[in-house]
A and B are shown apart, each in its own frame.
Chain A
Amino acid sequence: MDDPFLIRKYCNEGDGDAAIELLKRYERPLYQYIWQMLLQQQDCEDVMQETFRKALRALPNYREENHFKSWLFRIGRNEAVDIIRRRRRAVVAEAPEEYLGGVQDIVSLPGARELIEERESLEALTRAIALLPEKEKEVVAMRTQGELSFKEIAEIVGAPIGTVLARMHAAKKRLKSLLNTELDR
């Protein structure tokens, strides 16, 4: 069942299962994209809840055939941007231990050394992402975690595809240099 079919079922027949199926398709990528933008679980959950609520309210007036994913991400992005502006937590707000797990949990495990190295590398990665400028970070997050094409990203951010590609180039260059610095620490 495609998106427009599920939308019609929900809007015309009030079919809740159709709406759940529709939203569940994009729940995980949207969550991951927002998480990467906010790096804070509570904020991320607030945004998810508000995004789905707003989407369901606006669905009866939705007219963008076959662009539901972009439309949903646009709502999510606006919510995330609001939180970033309001709470001023654009850069890492949560201690990495909270989402990576504490070192003491790892040292007792077999293969602890590899796990610690892996953890350090992940920390470096999340720190590097957090240091990216907002506009570059959102393009990276949408492309990698949100699984959106560059064309879709251009629609969401309201910029030409060339600008989106330029931001991705810039992010790649910056990430490369940030990761080198982080891993050299």
Chain B
Amino acid sequence: MNQKTRDEILLYWSEEADAAQEAKVQALLKSDPEARAYFEELGVFDALRDRLASLPAMTPSRSFAEGAVSEMLAERRGWRGIGPWISVAAVVIVILAAANMVWPSNEERRETVAREEIQEKGVVLPEVMERPRLSQRLFARERHATRFPKILIAQERARKLRIRLEKFPQL
């Protein structure tokens, strides 16, 4: 008996053989004692199934389906509860990121003013004196500042000029 025949007998035993294989195996089982013996030996698997299935250990001690589904539904409900908050947080982050891209930072404003001063005048206060005062004003006025960068820069320049005039009235 070759491998192909054994496969066909196995498929027939498993009820997976097509019509042609079924007819062939049935004829073989009638005529060939070796094939018949092979088919009968496959009964060991049926015995295995039936006998093991009767063991108490083969019966699940609880319903895993119910447990897993309840757990998953509870998890889903949890996500549904915090879901809207995640959306709100995402929107806020996007707005802040966009604002950050459009709005000039304090550092940028300071640099622009300083650059213009260097270009236009020769007189610049020592950095040690100038920076802390400038930062203080910038942060103190931040909340009420106009939102257009050019106006902010102009305001900053005017403020610095005022400071200089106060310090050097003779000029």
User: Contact: B16 with A53, CB < 8 Å?
Assistant: no
Contacts of A125 in B (CB 8 A): 47-48, 51-52
Q: Do most interface residues of chain A lie in helix, strand or loop, or is the interface mixed?
A: helix
Report how many residues on chain A are interfacial, defined by Cβ distance under 8 Å.
47
Chain A min CB distance to B61 (Å): 7
Most buried by A among B41, B44, B47, B71: B44
* Residue ID in chain B nearest A28 by CB atoms: B60
With A20-B65, A27-B65 already in contact, the answer to whether A36 and B52 are too (CB < 8 A) is yes
Interface residue from B7, B41, B60, B71 paired with A162 (Cβ < 8 Å) = B7
Chain A min CB distance to B72 (Å): 5
User: Contact: A16 with B64, CB < 8 Å?
Assistant: no
Count A-B pairs with CB separation below 8 Å: 113
Let me know if A176 is at the binding interface, CB within 8 A: yes
Contacts of B60 in A (CB 8 A): 27-28, 31, 45, 48
Interface residue from A52, A122, A150 paired with B55 (Cβ < 8 Å) = A122
* Residue ID in chain B nearest A29 by CB atoms: B53
CA distance A27 to B69 in the complex (A): 13
User: Contact: B42 with A126, CB < 8 Å?
Assistant: no
Chain A min CB distance to B22 (Å): 15
Contacts of B65 in A (CB 8 A): 19-20, 22-24, 27, 52
Interface residue from A35, A55, A143 paired with B57 (Cβ < 8 Å) = A35
User: Contact: A14 with B73, CB < 8 Å?
Assistant: yes
User: Contact: B7 with A165, CB < 8 Å?
Assistant: yes
Chain A min CB distance to B54 (Å): 9
Contacts of A28 in B (CB 8 A): 59-60
Let me know if A113 is at the binding interface, CB within 8 A: no
User: Contact: A149 with B41, CB < 8 Å?
Assistant: no
User: Contact: A49 with B49, CB < 8 Å?
Assistant: no
User: Contact: A150 with B69, CB < 8 Å?
Assistant: no
Let me know if A67 is at the binding interface, CB within 8 A: no
Let me know if A179 is at the binding interface, CB within 8 A: yes
Q: Mark A88-112, 1 if CB is under 8 A from B, else 0.
A: 0000000000111100000000000
CA distance A101 to B59 in the complex (A): 14
Which B26-50 residues have C-beta < 8 A from chain A?
A: 41-42, 44-49
Contacts of B61 in A (CB 8 A): 41, 45
CA distance A52 to B48 in the complex (A): 26
Contacts of A143 in B (CB 8 A): 14, 45
Report 15 cross-chain contacts, Cβ distance below 8 Å, ordered by A residue.
Answer: A19-B69, A20-B66, A20-B69, A32-B52, A32-B53, A32-B58, A52-B65, A52-B69, A56-B69, A122-B51, A122-B55, A125-B48, A125-B52, A145-B58, A151-B16
If A140-B45, A144-B52 are given as contacts, then 15 extra A-B residue pairs at C-beta distance below 8 Å, sorted by A number, are A14-B76, A20-B66, A23-B65, A27-B65, A32-B58, A48-B64, A49-B67, A56-B69, A99-B56, A140-B48, A165-B10, A168-B10, A169-B7, A172-B44, A176-B44
Name B's A-contacting residues (CB within 8 A).
Answer: 3, 6-7, 10-11, 14, 16, 41-42, 44-49, 51-53, 55-61, 63-73, 76
Name A's B-contacting residues (CB within 8 A).
Answer: 14, 16, 19-20, 22-24, 27-28, 31-32, 35-36, 41, 45, 48-49, 52-53, 55-57, 98-101, 121-122, 125-126, 129, 140, 143-145, 149-151, 162, 165-166, 168-169, 172, 175-176, 179
